[in-house]
Amino acid sequence: MQNMQNKQIPDIVVGRLPSYLQMLKRLKTAGETNTSSKELGLKLEISAAQIRKDLSHFGEFGKQGTGYSINYLIECLEDILHVNKVWDMALVGVGFLGHAIANFQGFNHHGFQIKCIFDVDPSKIGQFVAGHIILDISELEKVIRKLNIQVAMITVDADNAQDVADKLVRAGIKSILNYAPVIIKVPSGIQIQYINPIIKLQHMTYYLK
């Protein structure tokens, strides 16, 4: 399977795999042991053919008729997505949103843990949030390099997000999840994803009268 990953897989396919993995984990939690592209498709509102085609980029995971072993497919998808390990993350910005993210329990079960938290506000630095001491953003580069962290989340306001992203990239961060409502420029080779509620809301109002 490692070899198959050397092929260039369309990013849109990669982007659907985490949804498959999450649904498989939900089915496992519900006590299921086997599933099918049809069942996954119904639950995810994606066609069964699409799911089979997406997975076929990475190998053969199921059998005609018997479908997929949930445990095996979870293991394979975790390998493919590199979440068969736990990624340390940095969080920058401890406003209400940063507080909420710092306290979010969902990361730990899906391959992520917050390792360090930064803010610029002297009244916050040295305080604790979700068991982490809030560090001065001036220490960001040193700390992230020392801890060898590659993933970061930005929860500062829009005006400061680009500056924070630049600092993160200089510190060696490779993947940024940005909650600030602003487009961020990153050098080639650095990944950025956005949490964007407007996109989701406007998608739905299309169907409203």
Q: Does 30 bind a second copy (CB under 8 A)?
A: no
- What single letter denotes the amino acid at residue 173? I
The distance of closest approach from Cβ of residue 29 to a second copy in the complex, given in angstroms and rounded to an integer, is 11
Q: How many helical (H) and strand (E) elements, i.e. helices and strands, does the chain have? A: 8, 10
Q: Is the CB of 56 or the CB of 138 nearer to a second copy?
A: 56
Edge-to-edge, what's the strand order for the sheet holding 62-63?
34-35, 67-69, 62-63
The distance of closest approach from Cβ of residue 105 to a second copy in the complex, given in angstroms and rounded to an integer, is 8
The distance of closest approach from Cβ of residue 104 to a second copy in the complex, given in angstroms and rounded to an integer, is 7
Query: Looking only at residues 1 through 20 of this chain, which bind a second copy when binding is defined by CB under 8 A?
Result: 11, 14-15, 17-19
Structural contact between residues 96 and 43, judged by C-beta atoms closer than 8 angstroms: no
Distance CA 25, CA 190 (A): 29
Where do we find the tokens 């409203």? Answer: 208
Distance CA 128, CA 114 (A): 13
Q: Is the CB of 63 or the CB of 203 nearer to a second copy?
A: 203
Distance CA 50, CA 16 (A): 10
Among 141, 150, 160, 172, binds a second copy (CB under 8 A): 150
The distance of closest approach from Cβ of residue 14 to a second copy in the complex, given in angstroms and rounded to an integer, is 5
List residues binding a second copy (CB under 8 A): 11, 14-15, 17-19, 21-22, 26, 45, 80-83, 87, 89, 95-97, 99-101, 103-107, 110-112, 150-151, 153, 174-175, 177, 181, 183, 191, 193-209
